[in-house]
């Protein structure tokens, strides 16, 4: 049992920040950012909320899928940068779209979120209880960025991507991974709880993490880099093995867009070709879980994905999480 993507959509806010714009606020330059990351510019929300970006991407995905709103029976949201503790981003997206009845929940698997959600959707659909699932991945990462930290602020942007999926006989295989011992390698802490009777600060069991400012993203760039370049080829190979396929069967590889050097190393380790690898990081930067569905929507619009193609998605991120999904489009 597999899945079929019926339609995909994306939303990138119109405000764009170039590398030269960053050179005005931190000690950096276009040459360093382009060479070390492949990023030239990124989109940034300018008054838009996360769920509003998600709703725009979802609307396009639903229109392209031709599924009536009242036949969307589940919405899975993926985000690390939601507007509300509760309700879920997916509930807010459903409200904005005017959906009356749909099971809504969010998952947080960081940048691997879309791959995790697609695997969940496949499982829900295969039980037959749900027919059409909207996956909406929306990230307002600029909410978590410390614009005094030049090593991280240049990496991230905002945007949303969405797909509508249903079940089909097409092939689908996924491999998910988690390494919780690496959970402190990329952290953004929620505000410390306060109450009138409290006498002690929270202790994260780690001096470095204790000192992180609430609400900002901190990461060990080198460790994440090493994790990414080793895990992505492994999960891709494992997903291919589960599907009885090999690397040459893939028509288009869509990796998480975090750093062009990570993508190039992973592609080289897979003995694959960059010509069959989708890259949009130069225009978008890293948008966590939204990168992959945005890339899917762009690749369809550009004619780089056609019905019958074998697509491979792979992501990695905080958690530490990683995953790959292989399926026929
Ligand atoms: O979705 C998952 C999220 N995270 C990631 O995927 C991050 C993975 N890691 C990376 O992409 C890379 O490790 C970074 C892009 C974050 C950093 O690149 P790097 O090649 O590992 O650079 P580095 O940290 O080794 O720094 C090299 C030098 C340092 O200067 P010194 O100590 O050699 O004098 C940094 O201070 O580059 C300096 N540097 C910068 N220079 C200009 C760091 N950031 C900048 C900057 N502009 N923006």
212 lies in some domain:
no
Catalytic residue check, 259: no
Residue 87 DSSP label: S
43 included as an active-site residue:
no
Averaged pLDDT, 105-126: 98
CB 293 within 8 A of CB 57: yes
Residue of 111, 277, 291, 312 marked catalytic: 111
Catalytic residue among 104, 256, 259, 277: 256
| Confidence grade of residue 1 (pLDDT, cut at 50, 70, 90) | confident
Q: What is the CATH number of the domain that holds 302?
A: 3.40.47.10
Residue 138 and residue 178 in one domain? no
- Does the residue 208 lie in any domain? no
Range of the domain at 286: 173-182+220-328
pLDDT category at 69 given cuts 50, 70, 90 is very high
Is the domain of 177 the same as that of 125?
A: no
In a domain, 35, yes or no: yes
Neighbours of 302 (CB within 10 A): 10
Mutate-to-test residue for ligand 1 from 151, 287, 320, highest number of ligand atoms within 8 A of CB: 151
What are 154-176's pLDDT values in tens digits?
A: 999 999 999 999 999 999 999 99
DSSP type of residue 122: H
Number of domain units in the chain: 2
Confirm whether 286 is a catalytic residue: yes
Lining ligand 1 with CB less than 6 A are 28, 32-33, 36-37, 111, 150-151, 154, 219, 221-222, 224-225, 228, 258-259, 286, 317
What's the maximum distance between 2 C-alpha atoms anywhere in the chain? 62
Nearest to 257 by CA among 4, 6, 2, 10: 10
User: In the chain, what percentage of residues exceed pLDDT 90?
Assistant: 98
Is 145 found in the same domain as 21? Answer: yes
Pick the residue whose CA is nearest to atom 41 on ligand 1. Answer: 28
pTM greater than 0.75 = yes
- Residue 215: inside a domain: no
Which of 36, 295, 315 most suits a substitution to test ligand 1, by most atoms within 8 Å of the C-beta?
36
- Cα(32) to ligand 1 centroid in Å equals 9
Q: Does residue 139 sit within a domain?
A: yes
Least Cα distance to 140 among 82, 90, 101, 191 occurs for 82
pLDDT greater than 90 at residue 29: yes
The answer to whether the beta carbons of residues 252 and 123 sit under 8 Å apart is: no
Residue 207 within a domain: no
The answer on 178 and 136 residing in a single domain is no
221 CA → ligand 1 middle, Å: 7
Per-residue pLDDT at 275: 97
Q: Is residue 159 located within the same domain as residue 19?
A: yes
Pairing relationship of beta strands 74-78 and 133-140 according to DSSP bridges: parallel
Residue 267 Cα to ligand 1 midpoint, Å, equals: 21
For atom 39 of ligand 1, the residue with the nearest CA is: 151
Residues 10, 146 within the same domain = yes
Same domain, 241 and 161: no
Confirm whether 299 is domain-assigned.
yes
Whether 17 and 142 share a structural domain:
yes
Same domain, 32 and 130: yes
Are residues 161 and 271 part of one domain? no
179 in helix, strand or coil? coil
- State the distance from the centre of ligand 1 to the C-alpha of 150, rounded, in angstroms: 8
pLDDT band at 117 (very low <50, low <70, confident <90, very high): very high
Residue pair 227/185 in contact by the 8 Å Cβ criterion: yes
Mean pLDDT of all residues in the chain? 97
Indicate whether 236 belongs to any domain.
yes
Q: How far is the CA of 192 from the centre of ligand 1 (A)?
A: 29
Instruction: State the average pLDDT over residues 254-276.
Output: 97
Confidence class for position 250, pLDDT limits 50, 70, 90: very high
Same domain, 138 and 233: no
Distance CA 11, CA 52 (A): 10
The stretch 37-49 carries a mean pLDDT of 98
What value does the mean pLDDT take over residues 106-134? Answer: 97
Say whether both 109 and 254 belong to one domain: no
């Amino acid at each position: 049992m597999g899945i079929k993507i019926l339609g995909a959509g994306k939303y990138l806010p119109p405000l764009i920040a170039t590398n030269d714009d960053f050179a005005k606020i931190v000690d950096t330059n276009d040459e360093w950012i382009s060479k070390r990351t492949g990023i030239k510019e990124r989109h940034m929300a300018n008054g838009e909320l996360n769920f509003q970006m998600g709703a725009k991407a979802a609307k396009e995905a639903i229109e392209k899928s031709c599924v009536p709103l009242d036949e969307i029976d589940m919405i899975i949201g993926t985000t690390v940068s939601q507007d509300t503790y509760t309700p879920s981003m997916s509930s807010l997206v459903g409200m904005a779209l005017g959906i009356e009845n749909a099971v809504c929940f969010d998952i947080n698997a960081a940048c691997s979120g879309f791959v995790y959600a697609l695997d969940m959707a496949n499982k829900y659909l295969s039980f037959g209880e749900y027919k059409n699932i909207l996956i909406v991945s929306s990230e307002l990462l600029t909410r978590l960025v410390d614009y005094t930290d030049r090593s991280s602020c240049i990496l991230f942007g905002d945007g949303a991507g969405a797909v509508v999926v249903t079940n089909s006989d097409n092939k689908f295989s996924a491999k998910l991974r988690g390494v919780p011992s690496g959970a402190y390698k990329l952290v953004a802490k929620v505000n410390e709880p306060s109450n009138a009777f409290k006498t002690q600060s929270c202790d994260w069991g780690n001096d470095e993490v204790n000192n992180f400012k609430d609400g900002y993203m901190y990461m060990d760039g080198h460790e994440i880099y090493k994790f990414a370049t080793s895990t992505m080829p492994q999960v891709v190979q494992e997903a291919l093995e589960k599907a009885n396929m090999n690397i040459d069967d893939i028509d288009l590889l869509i990796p998480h867009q975090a750093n062009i050097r990570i993508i190039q190393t992973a592609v080289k380790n897979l003995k694959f070709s960059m010509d069959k690898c989708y890259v949009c990081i130069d225009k978008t930067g890293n948008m966590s879980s939204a990168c992959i569905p945005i890339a899917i929507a762009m690749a369809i619009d550009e004619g780089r994905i056609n019905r019958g193609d074998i697509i491979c998605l792979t992501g990695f991120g905080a958690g530490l999480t990683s995953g790959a999904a292989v399926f026929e489009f």
